[in-house]
């Protein structure tokens, strides 16, 4: 390696977990992000680091402030030349890191600061998805917004209630169960064990929102405190929006870090990175148990890093719901029947951060772990929408053999977009077979309605609901309905209906 080769590195990380509900101490997202940035600057060992920042990127904070980035600059008293705010998506933190690394490697910027916050833990602050979607619709008109502002669902999916994370990810999960030929009971136990491993790690993490370790039995058993949300996920398997957390990272080059006298023991190298998008709509997916985007993105990032998956020492795979983590583990080449630890934080349901900024926390934890053991490498993923938008980063403590160059990623998206999707029928009539499904419960723990994705005899895919028959809905949670035959009728302006 030539001595003058410049590598992008992370030199500072900061995290805040604010649990106190104290009158007069109900911080805004910008105030929380400010605290994380201050910790990040202190961590770097360069007290005047903000004065060198060229670019500030703020992860979407579900904030009603018209321009959160400007508000954060005012709080910190600095005005970097580039100020931007992302659209919604848990993929955005790692995407921002990869993007900043590109610009640093090309000499476009010297120092990049990335930050975000979730400030939804408050008795008088409620989270409203409808308000969020309205805000998303208007984002394309704002110049500082970066990232896709496209709505995550189509009208026909909305009409059949196949939208929202708490419905979409159970659809993936039930498809996975059928694919793996597990019984309902086997699957429930496997989910409990999967989540218990995450809970155990969170319990040992002082920054985690939920520090109580839960057993697999406690997580899988339906109780008044752990109601079913959408089959097969209980409340303890879901991420909880009400947290106050913030995280920040700062990137620069090895050359600038030397000029700023940032000690080399603070440096963590970016070895590889990638992004890819699945076919955008649920109705367009090739199937509901795999992710071509994760598979192709991981191949390219590992090739860039010059590593095999067996050379990665630890992982943080985006864990909004178990299906997201299991699909990612499978696609990157891990044994899903006996996986290594898949989180360094404790994951979204237990560590917290289930808005958009969780992965910044995962990156910060990864950096701290590599500083302790520079010979190790870590892999971090982020996910946005319904297993739709993906990002990945590979980190290490040793100088890479090759300069940062992500040119090999260029053909990936074209390859994914060319994959063949089943034809869609918006007004289905006739015999059909269930491809996947879920049952949504109300707050009293009663099954309320179903969401079904089915295939007609000609192979066309369609969306539907069953009748709101309590006995049928209970049966759908105790018997395998993937592969079950029924009859479907179009619903015109109402949901299509499938009967068995």
Asked whether the beta carbons of 434 and 482 are under 8 A apart, the reply is: yes
pLDDT confidence of residue 407: 75
pLDDT grade for 419, boundaries at 50, 70 and 90:
very high
Determine the pLDDT at residue 358.
Answer: 97
Residue 19 is predicted with a pLDDT of 79
CATH number of the structural domain spanning residue 493: 2.40.50.840
Among the three residues 379, 396, 418, which one is the final residue of a domain in this structure?
418
Q: How far apart are CA 17 and CA 81, in angstroms?
A: 29
Calculate the alpha carbon distances from 352 to 110, 325, 449 in Å: 32, 15, 28
Which residues on adjacent β-strands are paired with residue 243? none
Question: Count of domains in the chain?
Answer: 2
Whether residues 115 and 258 share a domain: the answer is yes
Residue 142 has pLDDT above 70, yes or no: no
pLDDT tens digits, residue range 277-289?
A: 999 999 999 999 9
Please report which confidence band the pLDDT of residue 1 belongs to, taking 50, 70 and 90 as the band edges: very low
**Mean pLDDT computed over 33-40:** 97
Q: Are residues 414 and 435 in the same domain?
A: no
Last residue of a domain, one of 367, 384, 418: 418
**pLDDT for 296 beyond 50:** yes
Percent of the chain with pLDDT over 70: 92
Torsion angle (degrees, nearest 10) of CA 180, 184, 189, 194? 50
145 vs 462, residue with greater confidence: 462
Question: Same domain, yes or no, for 130 and 36?
Answer: yes
What average pLDDT does range 107-123 have in this prediction?
Answer: 89
pLDDT, tens digit, 9 for 90 and up, residues 301-343: 999 999 999 999 999 999 999 999 999 999 999 999 899 999 9
Exposed/middle/buried for residue 134 (C-beta within 10 Å: 0-12, 13-18, 19+): exposed
Same domain? 435 vs 412 = no
Task: Say what the pLDDT of residue 3 is.
Answer: 53
Identify whether residues 386 and 445 lie together within a single domain.
Answer: no
List, in sequence order, every residue forming a beta bridge with 315; answer none if it has no partner: 379
Query: What tens digit of pLDDT does each residue of 210-236 get?
Result: 999 999 999 999 999 999 999 999 999
Contact 247, 18 (CB under 8 A): no
Q: Looking at residue 353, what is its pLDDT?
A: 87
- Paired with 247 in beta bridges are 15, 116
**With contact defined as beta carbons under 8 Å apart, do 294 and 286 qualify?**
no
CA distance 53 to 490: 57
CA 497/CA 467 separation, integer angstroms: 7
* pLDDT of 118 over the 60 cut: yes
371-408 pLDDT tens trace: 999 999 999 999 999 999 999 999 999 999 889 988 76
Q: What is the CATH number of the domain that holds 335?
A: 3.40.47.10
Lowest-confidence region among 19-23, 169-173, 259-263, 346-350:
19-23
Lowest mean pLDDT among 131-135, 324-328, 456-460, 481-485: 131-135
CA neighbor of 58 nearest in space, from 276, 356, 295: 356
Does residue 219 form part of some domain? no
Distance CA 79, CA 76 (A): 9
Has residue 197 got a pLDDT over 80?
A: yes
Q: Is residue 188 part of a domain?
A: no
- The mean-pLDDT minimum among 191-200, 238-247, 304-313, 451-460 falls in 238-247
Residue 423 burial (C-beta neighbours within 10 Å; 0-12, 13-18, 19+): exposed
Q: What is the pLDDT of residue 32?
A: 93
**Cβ-contact 336, 330 below 8 angstroms:** yes
Q: Which two tokens stand for residue 283?
A: 């109705």
pLDDT exceeds cutoff 90 at 249: yes
- Sign of the C-alpha dihedral, residues 18, 23, 28, 33? negative
Integer Cα distance of 162 and 496 in angstroms: 12
Say if residue 488 is in the same domain as residue 384: no
Does residue 337 sit in the same domain as residue 450?
A: no
Q: Cα angle vertex 123, ends 118, 125, to 5°?
A: 50
Q: How confident is the model at residue 62 (pLDDT cuts 50, 70, 90)?
A: confident
Inform me whether the pLDDT recorded for 124 exceeds 80.
no
354 & 482 share domain? no
Tell which residue, 100, 406, 95, 395, has the closest CA to residue 271.
Answer: 395
Work out the average pLDDT over 447-456. Answer: 97
pLDDT at residue 24 is higher than 80: no
| Average pLDDT score, the chain | 92
Q: Look at residue 331 and tell me if it is in a domain.
A: yes
Distance CA 350, CA 213 (A): 9
Domain identity same for 341 and 385: yes
Q: Is the pLDDT of residue 134 over 80?
A: no
On whether residue 388 sits in a domain, the answer given is: yes
Give the range of the structural domain holding residue 460, as residue numbers without chain letter: 430-499
In a domain, residue 262? The reply is yes
């Amino acid at each position: 390696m030539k001595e003058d080769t410049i590598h992008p590195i992370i030199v500072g990380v900061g995290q805040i977990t604010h649990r106190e509900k104290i009158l007069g101490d109900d911080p805004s997202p910008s105030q929380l992000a400010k605290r994380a940035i201050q910790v990040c600057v202190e961590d770097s060992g360069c007290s005047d680091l903000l004065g060198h920042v060229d670019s500030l990127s703020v992860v979407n904070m579900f904030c009603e402030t018209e321009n959160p980035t400007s508000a954060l600059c005012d709080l910190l008293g600095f005005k970097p030349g580039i100020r931007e705010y992302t659209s919604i998506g848990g993929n955005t933190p790692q995407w921002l890191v990869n993007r900043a690394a590109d610009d640093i490697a090309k000499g476009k910027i010297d120092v990049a600061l990335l930050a975000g916050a979730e400030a939804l833990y408050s008795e008088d602050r409620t989270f409203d998805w409808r308000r969020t979607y309205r805000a998303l619709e208007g984002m394309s008109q704002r110049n500082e917004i970066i990232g896709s502002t496209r709505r995550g669902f189509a009208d026909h999916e909305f009409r059949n209630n196949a939208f929202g994370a708490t419905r979409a990810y159970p659809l993936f999960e039930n498809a996975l169960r059928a694919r793996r030929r597990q019984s309902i009971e086997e699957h429930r136990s496997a989910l409990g064990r999967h989540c218990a491993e995450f809970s155990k790690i969170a319990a040992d993490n002082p920054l985690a929102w939920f520090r109580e370790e839960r057993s697999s039995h406690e997580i899988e058993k339906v109780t008044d405190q752990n109601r079913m949300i959408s089959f097969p996920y209980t409340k303890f398997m879901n991420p909880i929006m009400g947290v106050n957390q913030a995280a920040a990272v700062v990137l620069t080059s090895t050359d600038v870090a030397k000029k700023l006298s940032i000690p080399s023991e603070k440096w963590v190298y970016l070895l590889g990175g990638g992004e890819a998008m699945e076919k955008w709509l649920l109705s367009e997916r090739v199937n509901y148990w795999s992710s071509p985007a994760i598979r192709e993105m991981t191949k390219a990032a590992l090739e860039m890093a010059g590593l095999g998956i067996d050379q990665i020492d630890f992982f943080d795979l985006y864990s909004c719901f178990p299906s997201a983590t299991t699909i990612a583990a499978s696609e990157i080449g891990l044994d899903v029947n006996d996986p290594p630890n898949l989180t360094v934080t404790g994951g979204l349901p237990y560590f917290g951060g289930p808005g958009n900024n969780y992965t910044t926390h995962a990156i910060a934890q990864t950096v701290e772990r590599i500083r302790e053991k520079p010979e190790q490498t870590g892999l971090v993923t982020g996910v946005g929408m319904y297993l739709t938008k993906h990002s990945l980063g590979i980190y290490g403590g040793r100088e890479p053999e090759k300069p940062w160059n992500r040119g090999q990623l260029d053909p990936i998206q074209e390859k994914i977009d060319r994959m063949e999707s089943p034809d869609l029928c918006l007004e289905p009539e006739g015999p059909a077979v269930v491809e996947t499904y879920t049952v949504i419960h109300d707050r009293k723990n009663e099954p309320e309605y179903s969401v079904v994705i089915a295939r007609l005899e000609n192979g066309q895919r369609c969306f539907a609901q069953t009748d709101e028959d309590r006995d049928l809905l209970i049966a759908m949670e105790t018997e395998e309905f993937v592969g079950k035959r029924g009859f479907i009728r179009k619903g015109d302006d109402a949901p299509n209906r499938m009967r068995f």
